[in-house]
Amino acid sequence: MIRASAPGKLILFGDHAVVYGEPGIATAINKRVYSTACELEGRKIIIESKDTGETIECGIRDKSKNPIVAAVQEAQKFSKSRSGVGVEINSQIPIGAGLGSSAAVATATIASVATLFNGKEPSTMEIAEMAYKADKLAHESPSGIDTAITSLGGTIFFKKGNISQLDSDPLTFVVANSGVRRNTSDMVLRVKNSIMDPRVALSMFSIGSLAKEARTVFMNKRPVDLGPLMDRGQSLLKDLGVSSTAIEDLVKLAKDSGAIGSKITGAGGGGCIISLSDDPEDLIKAFKENGAFAYSVRTNQPGVRIE
Ligand code: PMV
């Protein structure tokens, strides 16, 4: 039996634009998914998610668009295994909220299954490549930023085909959940349908430029300077059409309560916003007083690992 874990993530800059080759910045957070794999008699894959209560059962070679099945099959292909496998998932990350739950599940599962059948742990780059392949089967044109950050951990500057680690201390961000669950592929498709509009193309370029400015902020070790860049990022994401009334209300509440910067993380349309604040506890209190579910997370956390 092998247990692995992988972190959730925040996309600080570059949401959606990374799909079109612009740069982005993502960071691993202190909320993780745990995946435990064991060999089973017969040629079945059985996946049990303890948080959702869902069980998936299929043959080891069945074609499936389910992201966890795709992850198991990639890991088996890597390990040249034809054995049955059972996987149990325990997650601290909310689903469909922009915090990287599905990438973390895939990554932790690939690590546990590949280590079980391969006899040794694959490298984080090998895990990232397998997770990206599985993600491509399950999602609409993924950029690879989610599977890269959950595999590698830390804080990355990401441009398709090119990833570098940024030097950062762990920072505290406040996460507030709009309570609206959304589907990443639907949001990516919505943007894709308007990409021929020159204003949308320009917004993509501007979102990429913000990521470059933010890289300089990390290099200069002045994290408070990220705040205004986050606000500009949110305004560009709104222009792309991926914000919503619920998100704009949360952003306004954050700003009125003293946040230095506030924006969507991930695909938008619902899910979570992230805010930077001099006083995270005070901001969480303000969210809670207004009926929003909020908590703090720490960035720059370790990537996938065998427990
Ligand atoms: O799944 P989410 O909400 O973390 O969004 C993924 C980030 C996008 O840029 C919207 C899509 C992608 O593949 O990069």
pTM for this structure? Answer: 0.95
- For residue 129, the model assigns a pLDDT of 95
106 and 139 belong to one structural domain: yes
| Residue 104 and residue 6 in contact, taking contact as beta carbons nearer than 8 Å | yes
pLDDT of residue 138: 77
Number of domains in the chain: 2
CA angle 25, 114, 165 (to 5 degrees): 20
Q: What is the pLDDT of residues 238-269, one digit of tens each?
A: 999 999 999 999 999 999 999 999 999 999 99
Annotated catalytic residue 146: yes
Q: Is the CB of 100 under 6 A from ligand 1?
A: yes
Distance 266 CA to ligand 1 centre (A): 5
Residue that finishes a domain, picked among 105, 139, 166:
166
For residue 207, pLDDT over 90 is answered with yes
Which sign, positive or negative, has the C-alpha torsion 87, 88, 93, 95?
positive
Instruction: Answer whether 23 contacts ligand 1 (Cβ < 6 A).
Output: no
Same domain, 74 and 183: no
Ligand 1 close to Cβ of residue 105 (< 6 A): no
267 CB near ligand 1 (under 6 Å): yes
CATH code of residue 217: 3.30.70.890
Q: Whose CA is nearest to atom 13 of ligand 1?
A: 142
Domain boundary among 166, 198, 225: 166
Q: Is residue 139 part of a domain?
A: yes
Residues in the chain: 307
Q: Given its phi and psi angles, is residue 47 left (phi above 0), alpha (psi -120 to 50 degrees) or beta?
A: beta
Question: 19: Cβ below 6 Å to ligand 1?
Answer: yes
Q: Note whether 133 and 268 are same-domain residues.
A: no
The pLDDT tens digits for 82-135 are: 999 999 999 999 888 889 999 999 999 999 999 999 989 999 999 999 999 998
Distance 265 CA to ligand 1 centre (A): 8
CA of 228 to the centre of ligand 1 (A): 22
Annotated active-site residue in 146, 186, 197, 282: 146
CA distances from 256 to 268, 275, 297 (A): 21, 12, 21
Mean pLDDT in residue range 163-170: 96
Query: Tens digits of per-residue pLDDT, 124-159?
Result: 999 999 999 998 887 778 999 999 999 999 999 999
Q: Which of 9, 11, 20 for mutating ligand 1's site (highest number of atoms within 8 Å of CB)?
A: 11
Domain of 44 in residue numbering reads as 2-166
> 9-64, pLDDT tens digit by residue?
999 999 999 999 999 999 999 999 999 999 999 999 999 999 889 999 999 999 88
Last residue in a domain, options 141, 166, 191: 166
Q: Does residue 210 share a domain with residue 124?
A: no
